Amino acid sequence: MTGKMQEDVLEKYLKAGEILSRVRSEAKDKIKVGASLLEVAEFVENRTLELGADGSAFPCNISRNDEAAHATPMADDEGVFGEDVVKLDIGVHVDGYIADSAITVDLTGKHGDLVKASEAALYAAIDTVRSGVDTAHIGAVIEDTILDLGFKPIVNLTGHGVARYIAHTHPSIPNRHIDHGSILQAGDVIAIEPFATDGAGKIVDGSWSEIFSVIGNKPMRLPAARKLLKEIEPYQMLPFAKRWLKTEKLDFALMQLAKSGVITSYPVLKEVAGGLVSQAEHTLIITEDGCQVTTL
């Protein structure tokens, strides 16, 4: 038993983490110059199911260079990896219980220090975690570690809590110094995800979205919108990719659902000064005297 968590729930979190860890390791080997972005994303999502998960907790994110997050290939994507700094962010769920982890793969061979900055910040943060710790303390450790290594944290991105069928929830885990955070309790499940950059340390929304999630519930009058609503029902509140959908008149249906406040989109997030970004992330369960990392 970990903290205040029921044994069966703990087992599902651990199973999701084990599956994710294996998929992440196998997918990392496929990230090479010239390899297809779409093939890597589909490998991650299909392998997740093959290994016994109930599904992806969100579409496989493959964000490159100045992209920090929320990039996933389109249905007919012909893009390939170049000499990129690649963030691979994977989510797995077992009965809604989520594992979330990310790594950075440097295909340039020149930015190992940037990759190390987010990794070092992640492990320094993990070392501080236990029941009773203020998330403000975690944020300070992350920022100090990244700055000490000569980079900047991305101040307007955070780690987050995870809950059943909810990939991002309270508490937020800052990547910078803040005055007051939240006090972590045994049994809380969080994802810590430092982002380091050689840019300005801030992200803005890019111009395209391929990822959506349901945020409301409204009867829809138009047949295409109704059909799409039915198709996305199984994802509950978990994000889904546009390339996963088969509904006809898809763009129109997505627009109708967004206009009605039924779904929201997640634009690709880009570093405001065009700086390169690295990311490292693990999911962990808080215990009285530390934490159990599920995604090692």
- pLDDT tens digit sequence for 192-226: 999 999 999 999 999 999 999 999 999 999 999 99
Residue with more model confidence, 4 or 295? 295
pLDDT single digits (tens) 140-198 = 999 999 999 999 999 999 999 999 999 999 999 999 999 999 999 999 999 999 999 99
| Catalytic status, residue 170 | no
pLDDT band, residue 1 (cuts 50/70/90) = very low
Report which residue type is found at 276: L
Binding residues: 70, 89, 100, 160, 168, 193, 281
Nearest to 98 by CA among 169, 211, 17, 21: 17
| pLDDT mean over 225-254 | 96
Catalytic entry in 66, 168, 188, 198: 168
Binding residues for substrate: 70, 168
The yes-or-no verdict on residue 83 having pLDDT over 70 is yes
| Catalytic status, residue 100 | yes
pLDDT of residue 198: 98
Give the sheet arrangement for strand 152-153, strand by strand.
152-153, 195-197, 277-279
Binding residues for a divalent metal cation: 89, 100, 160, 193, 281
The yes-or-no verdict on residue 52 having pLDDT over 50 is yes
The yes-or-no verdict on residue 265 having pLDDT over 90 is yes
The yes-or-no verdict on residue 136 having pLDDT over 80 is yes
Measured CA to CA in angstroms, residue 103 lies from 90, 119, 144, 264, 282 at distances of 9, 8, 20, 26, 9
The yes-or-no verdict on residue 68 having pLDDT over 70 is yes
Give the sheet arrangement for strand 67-69, strand by strand.
67-69, 263-271, 203-214, 240-241
| Catalytic status, residue 160 | yes
> Is the previous residue joined to 59 through a cis bond, with omega within 30 degrees of 0?
no
| pLDDT mean over 19-44 | 98
Q: Delineate the domains of the chain, giving CATH numbers in brackets.
A: 7-205+269-293 (3.90.230.10), 209-268 (1.10.10.10)
Helix (H, G, I), strand (E, B) or coil at 68: strand
Distance from C-alpha of 249 to C-alpha of 241, rounded to nearest angstrom: 16
* Greatest pairwise CA separation for the chain in angstroms: 56
Give this prediction's pTM.
0.96
Mean pLDDT of the chain: 97
| pLDDT mean over 101-117 | 98
| Catalytic status, residue 89 | yes
| pLDDT mean over 77-85 | 98
pLDDT band, residue 4 (cuts 50/70/90) = low
State the pairing for strand pair 152-153/195-197: antiparallel
Would you mind telling me the total number of residues written for the chain in this entry?
296
pLDDT of residue 206: 97
| Catalytic status, residue 143 | no
pLDDT of residue 5: 85
The yes-or-no verdict on residue 124 having pLDDT over 90 is yes
Nearest to 154 by CA among 180, 177, 125, 175: 175
| pLDDT mean over 9-16 | 98
| Catalytic status, residue 50 | no
Which spans in the chain are helix H?
Answer: 7-28, 37-50, 112-128, 135-148, 223-232, 250-259
Catalytic entry in 18, 100, 198, 271: 100
